[in-house]
Amino acid sequence: MIQKRFFVSLLLLCIGFSAMGQKQKVWLDADTGNEVDDLYAIVRLVKEPLVELVGLSSAHFNNPDLNVFEKWNGYQTKGLNTVAESQRLNEQILKTLSRLDIPHPLGADRQIGRAWGQKEARPSPASEALITAVKKLPDGEKLDVLTLGALSNIASALILAPEILPKIKVYALGARYNPKTKVWDKDEFNIRNDLNAFNYMLNLNGLDFTIMPLEAARPLEFQREATFSQLNEKVEIENILKVRWQEHAIGDKARIMWDLALVEAYLKPELATIETVPTPPENSGSKVQVYTKIDERKLEEDFWQVLKK
């Protein structure tokens, strides 16, 4: 009976993620150096057999604290190149999983535009590679782009090549949205790191844009002791995940796995709820989709099942 249920679930996933036998192509953009959860999200997506990961780009996590404090999340801030740190970790993960065949270009080192606004693109190998990946798609196919940090890379790609807009779907972690009051709040870390990019994308009519606000991701919380008991130090990638927590959040008895929540909800759509809502009143786009609820228990179970395969 268990085998039968597993087969049915696998069949439904194949139907959901593929058309005419094609795997859905996915691009992941991650500010991996910022926290702990990015690494868990990347590993989960790389190990997913039902999608084709065609790119893993690095995102910056520049923020004002880097200018006024000596340390940030375990880093010495003096001389810290945030996108380079994200890039280093991306390459480490791919190498450990023997997946350096996945393109992994370096992203932009700062926001688009300037401090007072504007929408000047910030070209980088990541935005160039993303544009190329979209243009290579056969007619009728779209690229799903998942972003876990500032939206600088995907916004730059759209500014540089607006013709790719109909051929992408964007899933982003960031902002706050109250489904009861229908009120948006952009006062959030990822959005603060490139508010220009977020506003630019919210102003794009026709963009297929799905956002996971913090309220929806928050329930996916991993307990330190339970997590460490699951991670086998003799398995290199699992040891990397454990060491990351130890070095950057050792005092935390629990961690909200923000980025993993988006990746898991994307891969397991039956375990999440999405609503179509108006964009914030200051933006000119019409509608976006937002995650309003996830089944955090089943999503956590899925992560461990896939990791241990």
When comparing pLDDT for 80 and 5, which is higher? 80
- Please tell me the predicted confidence (pLDDT) of residue 158: 98
| DSSP string across 65-101 | HHHH-SEETTEE-TT--HHHHHHHHHHHHHHHTT-TT
Whether the pTM exceeds 0.85: the reply is yes
Spatial distance between the Cα atoms of 8 and 195, rounded to a whole number of angstroms: 43
What would the pLDDT profile of 163-192 be if each residue is shown by its tens digit?
999 999 999 999 999 999 999 999 999 999
- Please tell me the predicted confidence (pLDDT) of residue 19: 45
What confidence category does residue 73 fall into, taking pLDDT thresholds of 50, 70 and 90? Answer: confident
Alpha-carbon distances, residue 288 vs 57, 268, 273 (angstroms)? 24, 20, 14
Q: Which token pair is 271?
A: 């375990």
Average pLDDT over the chain, rounded to whole? 93
CATH of 25-307, one of 3.40.50.620, 3.40.1190.20, 3.60.21.10, 3.90.245.10: 3.90.245.10
Q: What is the CA radius of gyration of the chain?
A: 19
- Please tell me the predicted confidence (pLDDT) of residue 21: 64
Spatial distance between the Cα atoms of 128 and 305, rounded to a whole number of angstroms: 35
Spatial distance between the Cα atoms of 263 and 237, rounded to a whole number of angstroms: 18
Is the confidence at residue 209, as pLDDT, over 90? yes
Is the confidence at residue 6, as pLDDT, over 80? no
What would the pLDDT profile of 24-50 be if each residue is shown by its tens digit?
999 999 999 999 999 999 999 999 999
CA angle 271, 54, 292 (to 5 degrees): 25
